[in-house]
Structure 1
Amino acid sequence: MKNNILFTALVCLTLFSCKVEKKVTQKTKLVVGVVVDQMRYDYLTRFADRYGEGGFKRLLNEGFSLENAHYNYIPTYTAVGHTSIYTGTTPTNHGIISNHWYDKYLKETIYCVDDSKYKTIGNDGDGGKKSPYRMLTTTITDQLRLAQNMKGKTIGVAIKDRSAILPAGHTANAAYWFDGGSKGEWISSSYYMNELPTWVTEFNASKKADEYLSKPWETLYDIDTYTESIADDNKFEQPFKGQDKPVFPHNIPELRSKNNNYSILKAIPAGNSFTNDFAKAAIIGENLGKTDYTDFLAVSFSSTDYVGHQFGVASKEIEDTYLRLDKDLEDLFNFLDTEVGEGNYTLFLTADHAAVQVPAYLKSVKIPANYISYKKFTAYVNEITKKHFNSDELVENISNFQIFLNKEKIAELKLDANTVAQKIADEVINYKTIYKSVTARTLQSTSFTSGILNSLQNGYNQKLSGDVLLIPNPSTLSTYYKDGGTSHGSGYSYDTHIPMIFYGNGINQGNSKKKYEITDIAPTLANLLQVEFPNGTTGKIITEVIE
């Protein structure tokens, strides 16, 4: 009897031990956040037959893909997207309400990461006078640093300054971005350091930018095989300056001087390859993934956005850009396998927003779409206030589909600001291209739990946003794009539906069709890393993703 009891106990203990051992996940040495600027979800499926096995398909086959992931706020812009990914919350809490926005206290338009308290590190220009101070909450990168008593490194890398600075958080060791124009160098801010590390100086000295700009942009494959896009020569795209038509090949060495010199590198697929080169140099130069602490590399591929804006969603240029990015990603993943070790890193890939098909193209195939002139709309709003309040000076600024009232003038005329705002909201709904209008007071006093007004509310910040907020009709852009190209910023699915894929250490294999929101990435990572959530988090843990 005693032997049987002992045998049973040993079996139970063995089984229990095996079960526990199976659940233990090795500590992640490096987290890599990959953000592809302006990537629609359907770029994963549309170009799938042309992707190789080691890039996007590797993530889809071996990682966990959320196929119904969306942004849950308006506006869907670059700075807002990168901030929301890493903070796990929306502009309501984190305070980055656009790329540029009207500051009603300073009475001027500001840029999200401008900060005159700091100077450029890397050259004598002004491109480095930046910091993340306008971001009011912490990021997952901040929380990882705090959890390790400021051990472990966080590095942000992107061609765009905002795409490097905001994801890296307040406590980053460094953020680096590309200074175009006549400079052609990777730079940083004195917010992070007093001088560039040797590896950055050596990278700049290698003149890789000139190497990439010495070649024309030709299609990776025979252009006749690019069947997932419309004709190369069409009226819905914007050519480079100095180019008669927006068609391949694009003679970059010849066009360089007419397109702000080094800045043209941002607007071609080579800009992504260049970013990839720098990210790999950062991994080596900063010894990422090589210590007892967990490091974080936040890298954003920005050139996809520039190409999308100029040529549009359906262009040959976009198709070629993603086929080339697929190869860059394969190169990065192989590098991580070798340098950090397969199984030693955790990676996620998403986008900061998507994009709408060119409205003029949609109109050509009988899909409702339009353009809105801010100049004409401003005149319309002024007519409203003149008619009802006998003054056309009650509006201080109209931008980002928000109306800021002139509170001083309203007080001078002994008017009630809420009454003025409500009258404007009631009247502007009659404007042809405006679909919804709502006052700030309504957003403060009413809870919209679903639909596009919920997205508007999630993007509204009581301290920073305007007095009347507007939603245009679907597929409506500023007249700035009337001559070609496209943009983003709305709460419609073409702007909100983005890829969200997790891969690597601690991540399950599979996919899900359940709806998830962009704010779910940060708490999921926090749970995986066993660190505290960013302090403004409103997202949830995606339990399907984690082992």
Structure 2
Amino acid sequence: MKHLIFIILTVAALSLSAQDKPKLVVGIVVDQMRQEYLYRFEKKFGPGGFKRLMSDGFMLKNAHYNYVPTYTGPGHASVYTGTTPAIHGIIANDWFDKTLKKAVNCVGDENQKPVGIEVGNGDVSPWRLLSTTITDELKLATQKRGKVIGLSMKDRGAVLPAGHMADGAYWFDSPSGKFISSTYYKPGLPLWLEKVNSLNLADQYLNREWKTLLPVEQYTESGPDDSPYENRIKGKEEKPVFPYNLRQMRTKSTGYELIVASGFGCDLLTDVVKAALDGEELGKDEITDFLTVSYSSPDYVGHAMGPNSVEIEDTYLRLDRNIQDLLSELDKKVGTGQYIVFLTADHAVSDVPQYLKDNKIPAGLFRESFAEAGINDFLKKYFPDKKIVEKISNDQVFLNQEAFTGDPKSTGVDRLIVTELITQYLMGTDGVANVFTSSSLRSSDYGEKGLKGSVVRGFNPKRSGDIAFVLEPNWLSSSYVTGTTHGSGYTYDTHVPILFYGWGVRKGSSSQLHVITDIAPTLSVLLKIKFPSGCTGQPITEITD
């Protein structure tokens, strides 16, 4: 009997040692999460969510984005390509296309149609993403046998992480309340997702009341629930305070949009993620699969309420339970120690500028539309018959190229004069810290330090504007006095969590500086596959060595 037990244990040990790769990688991106949330809310987290990742995994305490703008589209692209907008080309969520002379979306694709509904936001694909992703590299390394699935409430949060070769990417369609896809992937939804959609989960959640998980007076890590710095959520006529009667509020809103901006948005996505684990049979064989998950609801809540709100704290306490639920599901379905999870964010967030001003901290709002009109009026003194500025977008000035047609010599001089005049105008504008011309950015070193380096790494010569500018700390490109946003290169927008957990990851932490582009090459080393084609990051040696 003892001999038999010895043989069984030996075979099991040999089998485990033969597995030199995880069965599944789960990438979790939280839309708008500060590193400090892990510390601020830690006492209220349960043992099996964020705390499990922090105590049993490896945590980078000093991880930052190294470019601007710190937006959702570029953030997801940078996590999975291991490079920045200068190379992967996703320069914003939406940007002004110099050739088409109109705004384009980072995943918009007029050649595609929605799948799962007749009309909706399904005309999308990753075609504007110029680099491969770590998920693409897994598909290439496994001869397409490794499965890649992307899930999010936002289309860009599902499409960009899943890459060009994904087996499927699925996101929430607010008008219909269903998860949908694009013809880029497949002509129809998988059976498991059709079954999920048939349950009308969004409808079930919207018939509930969003109230705090704990008594509201225990939310001492946040400001008062009744705050003048918060936006009203559509459908709630009175002040933005708990509780939120979603059943009543939805009668004054459109479709199922409230679910995304409520505490139940992460619950809904977690339900779909668990269904995908089963439906796609992820992690069921020895070939590594990859599941990308992007929790979008914290961004919607954060924009409306700000990082000091009770709503954002409650959202993260609920997300903590979602993480615990997901990890437990992975333990059961894939096996403890058989998977890797990494968790990060696509950007952090600024405090509400008006709150800072009321507390004697310099802050302000910069209105791009006002600047655009002001610059054009200013330039009429020198060029009375021309409209010089085509558009100001994402803190960049796009010149009207038709204003510089004709003799190259004279128009070249005009362009130089215009560039200098616009620079002078912007430098004299409240809230502007510095201005950079496209020529100075193109000639700069990719590794340049400081804020200029962040602009360089976010500047794609073919897609970005002719002039870029940087605002002063705590100044936002926004017209809203309440609520907040993100996008800068300052630490309140760049400092995000990076946590690795599971197969091949030792326990520990590091305060060494690491940038977001280090995630993808770290995974490449762990999975023993190529780095993404545009990768500029480096493996996190505290994890890999």
Fold shared by both chains (TM-score > 0.5): yes
Residues 383-462 of structure 1: pairs in structure 2 closer than 5 A:
383-391=377-385, 393-412=387-406, 414-416=410-412, 417-447=415-445, 449-462=448-461
Name the SS of the counterpart of 1:137 in structure 2: coil
User: What is the distance in 2 between the residues matched to 1:141 and 1:452?
Assistant: 30
The SS at the match of 2:380 is helix
- What is the rounded CA distance, in whole Å, between the counterparts of 1:57 and 1:405 in structure 2? 50
Out of 312, 315, 318, the position equivalent to 1:318 is 312
- 1:481 is displaced (CA, Å) by 2.0
Q: Which residue of 2 aligns with 1:494?
A: 492
What percentage of residue pairs aligned between the two structures are identical?
Answer: 48
Equivalent position amino acid for 1:47 in 2: F
Q: Does 1:342 align with 2:336?
A: yes
Range with greater deviation from structure 2 (315-324 or 370-379): 370-379
Give, in whole Å, the separation in 2 of the partners of 1:440 and 1:419. Answer: 14
Query: Partner of 2:505 in structure 1?
Result: 507
Deviation track 1:185-207 (CA, whole Å, cap 9, x = no partner) reads 00001110011111010000011
**Aligned position for 1:144:** 138
Residue correspondence of structure 1 range 46-85 to structure 2 within 5 A? 46-85=40-79
Give the Cα–Cα distance (whole angstroms) in 2 for the partners of residues 131 and 123 of structure 1: 16
Say whether the 8 Å CA contact 1:368–1:475 is kept in structure 2: yes
Q: Which letter does structure 1 place at the counterpart of 2:460?
A: N
Matches of 2:540 and 2:16 in 1, distance apart?
Answer: 21
What aligned pairs does 1:85-104 form with structure 2 within 5 A after superposition?
A: 85-104=79-98
* Contact 1:418 1:441 (8 Å CA) reproduced: no
Which residues of 2 match residues 82-481 of structure 1 at below 5 A?
82-181=76-175, 183-243=176-236, 244-391=238-385, 393-412=387-406, 414-416=410-412, 417-447=415-445, 449-481=448-480
Residues 479 and 119 (structure 1 numbering): CA distance in 2 closer, same or farther, change over 3 Å?
A: closer
Residue 412 (structure 1) shift = 5.0
What letter is aligned with 1:258?
A: K
Q: What 5-or-longer segments of structure 1 have no aligned partner?
A: 1-19
**RMSD of aligned Cα (Å):** 1.6
Deviations along 1:35-54, one digit per CA (max 9) or x if unpaired, are 00000111000001111110
SS at match of 2:140: helix
Aligned residue type for 2:47: E
Query: Matches of 1:392 and 1:241 in 2, distance apart?
Result: 42
Whether the aligned pair in 2 keeps the contact of 1:25 and 1:506 (CA below 8 Å) is no
Structure 1 residue 22 displacement after superposition: 11
Distance 1:451 1:430 in 2: 22
Contact 1:421 1:468 in 2 (8 A): yes
Alpha-carbon displacement from aligned partner over 1:379-408 (angstroms, at most 9, x marks no partner): 221133223444551111111110000111
Task: Return the letter of the residue paired with 2:226.
Answer: D
Structure 1: distance between partners of 2:235 and 2:322: 29
In structure 2, the CA distance between the partners of 1:69 and 1:78, relative to structure 1 (3 Å rule), is same
Q: Which residue of 1 aligns with 2:34?
A: 40
Q: Structure 1 residues 337 and 429 mapped into 2: Cα distance closer, same or farther (>3 Å)?
A: same
The Cα offsets for residues 346-405 of structure 1, whole Å up to 9 and x where unpaired, read as 010000000000001111111111011223211221133223444551111111110000
Give the distance between the partners of 2:386 and 2:49, measured in 1 at CA: 56
Q: Structure 2: which 5+ runs fail to align?
A: 1-13
Paired residues, what number? 526
Deviation at 1:209, TM superposition (A): 1.1
Kept after mapping to 2: 8 A contact 1:76/1:489 = yes
TM-score for the superposition, normalised by structure 1? 0.94
* Secondary structure of 1:435's aligned partner: strand
Give how far 1:409 is off: 1.1
Residue 8 of structure 2: aligned partner: none
Contact 2:444 2:456 in 1 (8 A): no
Per the alignment, in what secondary structure is the counterpart of residue 43 of structure 2? helix
Compare 68-77 and 426-435 and name the one that shifted more. Answer: 426-435
